[in-house]
Chains A and B, each alone.
Chain A
Amino acid sequence: MSTNKEAWGSRIGLILAMSGNAVGLGNFLRFPVQAVQNGGGAFIIPYLVCFLLLGIPLLFVEWSIGRYGGRFGHHTTPFTMEKMGKSTLWRYVGVFGIFSNVAIAAYYCYIESWSLSYTMHSAVGSFRGLDQHAVSGFFSNYLDLATTTTGIPFEAVIFFLVCMALNTWVLSRGISGGVEKMAKIAMPLLIFFGLFLAIKAITLKAGHENAVNDGWVGLSFLWTPQFDSLLNPKVWLAAAGQIFFTLSLGQGSVQCFASYVKKKDDIALNAMSAGWMNEWVEVILGASIIIPISIGYLGIDKVIELTGLGGLGLGFRTMPFLFQQWGPALAAMAGIAFFGLLFFAGITSSLAMGTPILSFMQDEFNWSRKNSALIFGGAVTLLGLPTVFFFQQGVLDEYDYWAGTVSLVVFAMLEMILFSWVFGIKKGWREITNGSDIKVPVIYKFIIKWVTPFILIIVFFGSLVRPANDEWTKVSLTSWPLHRESIIGQLIHKDAGPNATWFADRFYAESECIVDSIYRENGKTIIAVIAPDQVTSVSYVLRKGNLPAVQTGDHLKKGDTLYTGRVINRLAYLNLARMLLLSLFAFSAFLVFKASRRRKKHAARHQKIHTS
């Protein structure tokens, strides 16, 4: 039925595309921050243990599922999983492998477009002469669509559209002519840029170019082991999470890439090569860039404070300012290298997200590659625009939580159960070792059957009912207060605060605070408040028609009115994001249903012709 005749051009191309799929923004922005927050050098111990017990088994399983499906002409998870599980139920579990890719690409491509824009800004010298506050403000202005950093109106939207067009064009060139070619260009360049920045970072000298610390100070801070952190379950969960997300597992893209590998060809060695290449980029390059450079200029205390805001803030609000200390020419080179590296890491991953969608449309509806690429580009753009327009209201974070975190864990857990317990480890092991160019240690048969599924089940249920303050020892069946970041806590908007309605005619203070200042910027009124401990500050941008109900210096309690006028609360935007994601899942399931009807009709026609 399918006219899909795609194939990989070469083995190195497949390995680079697969590692490009895994290497993403998180390797450079998330990993170092996680390491700093979870025990420094000792984080590497749980991290590598999780790689061995969770990452490698899942890589073997996803590669095997993909190659198994490819044998029957299935390049996406719904029909492959149905074939393996011999039940319609598994077909609809496989919908996650379509849904997650579109949903993640919708916000991932937006972040990717920031890197593209910042590469250009670094090249033209937009950050020249700006102080740290101004560089941070530059990013806020970039995200605030009403202001512009270049004179281009709606600059963030334009760059997002350019980024989408680029992704669509590369995807329309096919697996070997597009995705593989891009990986062959992007991966070596990414490594080259990464090495350049890492060498520059570790050779920083205190007293030179305004640096206050040697580059080694940052590395020492990052790698000093704190062994007591090994006893903290939070560190182990963080390590498991990092391994899971860095390898792009539970998404459906690994299975899709592997479905183009023939039955007799190796997958075990390919999986190891791609997986370890991702680890190399993450641990060697990822750990040697942003932390040593930022500690070199800002000191350890400031960097600890900044890592609390996450890797994106450190990367986009701080790094351009730090590069300026190296003089105009080197600053431009470093900016191009850093944001170019992020862009290449991003695009190789977003292309991997597009491939299952193209394969599905080609396999099931006989669509041409170009039309399939256009439908992917269109769907991602439509779903991505709310993240662009309502970024400040938390839509991107909401997408990331449900599609980029929860869906992946759920899907990986279910596919592991399917592979090990339903399809059966005997057949599964044969799939993994068939055609293998390495001898896969037999211990992995046990790990895949028992250890990895149980780790995933524990991670899932642990996230579902995570207790408040992570106090697992203090919960009981009668008293189980939930953490606001637990899945149930998120679902019910736990601790939504005093602004827990969709719309209101006043906005209330979210916690006890002091009004620090009220000022106008770019035609908007802004109320800046600071917590009584003088550490955390928050700025509220008022909409047209809103009026401040406070004055500078006022001490507010949680629930006191901050400003009046028509207010659309954050809750409305978060629910809008959820509805969009739910609609996408329902639409993906509907497409799978239509495809199965087509298959049945095709099979009946085929049988009729055969019998007559």
Chain B
Amino acid sequence: MKTSALIFMLLAQVTITTIMLYFLIRALRAKKRPEPDSYTDNDDEEDE
């Protein structure tokens, strides 16, 4: 594989994977809002 192709590919793949994971993890770890929120899965939980 040509070096320029390898650099381009790795740069693009690493950048996109990192950004995707960063946003996804932040979304999953975000603090839950008090009810009523947009999601039904935590409707039984007590508000803090």
Interface residues of A (CB under 8 A from B): 7-15, 40-42, 44, 48, 176, 216-217, 219-225, 260-262, 264-266, 269-270, 272-273, 276-277, 279-280, 283-284, 435, 437-438
Interface centre among A217, A261, A273 (most CB of B within 10 A): A273
Q: Tell me how far the C-beta of B11 lies from the nearest C-beta in chain A, rounded to whole angstroms.
A: 9
Q: Which residues of B contact A7 (CB under 8 A)?
A: 38-40
Residues in B with CB closer than 8 Å to A15 are 24, 27
Output the least CB separation between A501 and chain B (Å).
50
CA distance A272 to B4 in the complex (A): 29
Instruction: Report if A224-B2 is in contact (Cβ < 8 Å); known contacts: A277-B20, A280-B17, A284-B13.
Output: yes
Residues of chain B having any CB pair with chain A under 8 Å: 1-2, 4-6, 8-9, 12-13, 16-17, 19-20, 23-24, 26-28, 30-31, 33, 36-42
Beta-carbon nearest neighbor of B10 in chain A: A223
Q: Are A273 and B8 in contact (CB under 8 A)?
A: no
- In the bound assembly, the distance between CA atoms of A42 and B11 in angstroms comes to 12
CA A9 – CA B41 in complex, angstroms?
A: 5
- In the complex, the answer to whether A280 meets B38 with C-beta atoms within 8 Å is no
Bound CA span A40–B4, Å? 11
Interface of A is mostly: helix
Knowing that A269-B30, A438-B23 are A-B contacts, what are 10 other residue pairs whose CB atoms are under 8 Å apart, sorted by A's residue number?
A: A7-B39, A15-B24, A42-B8, A217-B1, A261-B38, A270-B27, A273-B20, A277-B24, A284-B17, A437-B30
Task: Report chain A residues within 8 Å CB of B37.
Answer: 262, 264-265
Chain A residues contacting B24 (CB-CB under 8 Å) are: 15, 273, 276-277
Who on chain B is nearest to A214 by CB? B1
In the complex, chain B residues whose CB is within 8 Å of the CB of A437: 26-27, 30-31
Residues of A within 8 A of B12 (CB): 41, 44, 48, 223, 283
Tell me the bound Cα distance from A40 to B17 in angstroms: 20
Q: Taking the nearest CB of chain A, how far is it from the CB of B21, in angstroms?
A: 9
Nearest CB in chain B to that of A44: its residue: B12
| 8 Å CB contact of B9 from A12, A48, A219, A272 | A219
B40 & A8 in contact (Cβ 8 Å cutoff):
yes
Q: What chain A residues lie within 8 Å of B13 (beta carbons)? A: 283-284
